[in-house]
Structure formats: structure tokens, C-alpha cells
Amino acid sequence: MNWVHNIFGKTCLISILGMMMNHSLNAQELWPNKPIKLILPFQAGSAIDNAARVLAPKLAMNLHQSLIIENKTGASGLIGTEAVARSPSDGYTFLWGTTSTQVVGPSLSSNISYDPLKDFSSVGLVAFSPYILVSASKLGYKDLAEFISDAKLKPARLTYASAGNSSMANLAAQLFSSSAQVQLVHIPYKSSAQSVTDTLSGTIAIQFSTFSPVIAHIKSGNLKPLAVTSKNRLSLMPDVPTVAELGFPGFEAILWMGIFAPQGVPNDILDKFSNALTASLKDPEITKQLQNQGLQISNLNRIGMDKFLRSEINKWSQVIKTSGIVAE
């Protein structure tokens, strides 16, 4: 009789496992059946927050579910990112991550409690903001080659501004200095307004700036754009060459933002979210609004985003190591 009980027991176990698997599959098929939370680890009203709020209504429409943005700020975005890393992998909590939270922060500090590769799954890259390398028109640099020649004649005398050691603008300048083999002096600022003012006056030789703080001064002729740091020229400034095409192939330094899930979210949920994101970014009105903020739309799905993230971590961790940059 033992064999009967064993078979019966195994049959029951198989039935229970089958029911559990069916329940799990049904839950995934029904996803999303309740509001989705998107954690944004930066303050409301910031440029990153504004971009998320432009996209959120269209994304919610394509997901056929409410999308709630929750600002969870602190420690340069690390607190909100850590919260998502510890969230259930049920497909109802996602992260609006950036270069800062997924690359720079983890590369600068060994005390961060999350691993950007092991604790998260990529959903997709949303958009990116290249840097514009500008100099005061009064300084007279007609192009990037002329600035580099001057920098080589004046080692460790020409200055550049950034928002601090751990800012992407500083990392971009460090990568440029290494690529061009010039020695520049870093001047950190707490305010982008003040750094732009000092660049306009010629007190600072150059600045790697995002679009918004400098575009009006470029249009007025007070700032000279020498190059952009994206792979391709910007549609809003088609006459400004890229650093890459000016003799530094492969050069790219961008501030990007994308969506991530806690590790363990089922692939079919990730695919559904990634597809909804791709569809949302194809909307002409969304494209227009993000471009007006100086952002370039991405076309990387979750697989492409994962590869891109790994390459970004490899590149910037090496820049941080060779330049000796430390967390502030």
C-alpha cells in the first residue's frame, strides 16, 4: 500500500505545483491589474522629474493602468534607488534611474547597498542629454582644435567648471582631458547659474553644460559651442560638431535616464513594460516635449539597455579610477 500512498502523494504534489504555476502565469497574464509605482529618486521640479512627468501619462495609457510617480529623494538619488532594489519583484514598483544612480554612485562608493547589475533588470533607456562644450566668445576660440592647442601650450592653467567631483560634467571633462592629452584645472561649483556666469565672463575657460543653462547664451552669441558630447549631432544645433568627429572616435559622455525593475520580475512583464515604453517614445508630442527640454529620445529596449549599462559602468569606473576622483 505504501506505493499507492507514494503515488497519490506525488500526484497531489504535482497537482498543487501545477495550480501554483497556473496561478503565477495567470497573474502575469493579467499584469498590470493595479496601479504601478514609479520611484523617482530626485526632487519634484528637477529636470529629471519634469521628463518623467512628460512621459508618465502616455506610458500609463499604453500600459492600460495608472502610473504613480513617487519622489523618494536623498543622497544624490541613492536612497530611492536602494528602496526599489529592496522592493518585491511583482512588477508593481519600478525605478526611474539615471547615470548618477546606476553608474557614477556605485562606481565611486563601495558603501552602497545595491549592485546596479545584480539587483536590477533593465526595462529601457528613455532619453539622454549630451553635454555642450562651451567657451566665452570673448576668449576667441574658433573651434575645438584651437582650444586644445592653447591648452597644450598652457598645461594646468586653463580651467573648466562642473557641479562637483562626482558630477557627470566633471567625468566628461576628465574623459576629454585624457583623450585630448591636455591638463585642465577643475573648478567645482554649487550652482550652475554661477558657473555659467563665470564661463560667460571668461573667468572659466570652458564648461561641459547640459542644454538648458547655456542655450540662450549660445543664441545671443555670448557663448561659443565648440562641440557636443553625443555620438551624433543635435537636431537643435546641427552645425555644432561632435567631439567624436573632431578627432576622438568613440567619444561619448551623456547624462541619461531609464527605467529599471527590481531583480526577479518575470521577463514577460519586463517585455510588456519595455514595449509600452517604446510605443510611448514614438509619440511625436512626447518627442517634441522632451526635445524642448534638451533631451534626445532613445530607441534602446531592455536588451539594448542592459548592454549599454554594462558598457557605461566599464567606461566610467575606469575614468574614475585613472583620474583619482573620490566621492564628495
Report the CATH number at residue 166: 3.40.190.10
Q: Which of 246, 266, 300 is the last residue of a domain?
A: 246
The number of distinct structural domains making up the chain is: 2
**Is residue 23 predicted with pLDDT exceeding 80?**
no
Separation between Cα atoms, residue 214 and residue 244, nearest integer Å: 21
Same domain for 229 and 266, yes or no, is no
Q: Do the domain assignments include residue 50?
A: yes
Mapping DSSP to helix (H, G, I), strand (E, B) and coil, where does residue 112 land?
A: coil
- Which of 215, 246, 277 terminates a domain? The answer is 246
My answer on whether 164 and 194 are in the same domain is yes
Nearest-angstrom CA–CA distance, 37 and 95: 9
Q: Are residues 219 and 278 in the same domain?
A: no
Strands 36-40 and 93-98: parallel
235 is in which domain, residue-wise?
Answer: 132-246
Angle 308-318-123 (CA atoms, 0-180°, nearest 5)? 20
- Taking each helix axis as running N to C, give the angle between helix 267-281 and helix 47-63, from 0 to 180 degrees, rounded to the nearest 10: 110
Q: Per-residue pLDDT tens for 94-145?
A: 999 999 999 999 998 878 999 999 999 999 999 999 999 999 999 999 999 9
234 and 156 together in one domain: yes
Residue 141 lies in a domain: yes
If asked whether residues 136 and 241 sit together in one domain, one would say yes
Statement to judge: residues 144 and 90 lie in one domain: no
Assess if residue 271 is contained within a domain.
Answer: yes
Q: How would residue 192 be classed by pLDDT, with cut points 50, 70 and 90?
A: confident
**Cα(257)–Cα(77) distance, rounded to whole angstroms?**
12
Where residue 75 falls among pLDDT bands split at 50, 70, 90?
Answer: confident
Both 237 and 278 in one domain: the answer is: no
Quick one: pLDDT band at residue 20, thresholds 50, 70, 90? low
| For residue 80, pLDDT beyond 60 | yes
Do 82 and 165 fall into the same domain?
A: no
Put simply, whether the predicted model's pTM sits higher than 0.75 gets the answer yes
d(CA 231, CA 241): 10
- Residue 145 sits in the same domain as residue 43: no
Q: Which of 304, 319, 289, 235 is nearest to 53 (CA)?
A: 289
Residue 26 lies in a domain: no
Among the candidates 179, 213, 246, a domain finishes at 246
Same structural domain for residues 315 and 171? Answer: no
How far, in Å, CA of 228 to CA of 158, rounded? Answer: 19
| C-alpha cell of residue 327 | 566621492
Angle at 168 between CA 175 and CA 138, to 5 degrees: 75
In a domain, 22, yes or no: no
Q: Which residues pair with 69 in a beta bridge?
A: 38
Residue 299 pLDDT level (bands cut at 50, 70, 90):
confident
Task: Give the pLDDT confidence score for residue 18 in this predicted structure.
Answer: 53
How would you classify the pairing of strands 185-188 and 159-162?
parallel
Where residue 62 sits, what CATH number does that domain have?
3.40.190.150
Share of the chain above pLDDT 70, in %: 91
Residue 191 φ/ψ region, left for φ over 0, alpha for ψ in the -120 to 50 degree band, beta for the rest: beta
Largest CA distance in the chain: 97
Which helix (H) or strand (E) covers residue 161, if one does?
strand 159-162
Q: Edge to edge, what strands does the sheet with 159-162 contain?
A: 185-188, 159-162, 206-209, 132-136, 223-228
Residue 318 included in any domain:
yes
CB 134 within 8 A of CB 218: yes
Are 201 and 175 members of one domain? yes
**Same domain, yes or no, for 64 and 199?**
no
In a domain, 60, yes or no: yes
In a domain, 17, yes or no: no
User: What are the start-end ranges of the E strands in 14-145?
Assistant: 36-40, 67-71, 93-98, 120-130, 132-136
Indicate whether 9 pLDDT > 60.
Answer: no
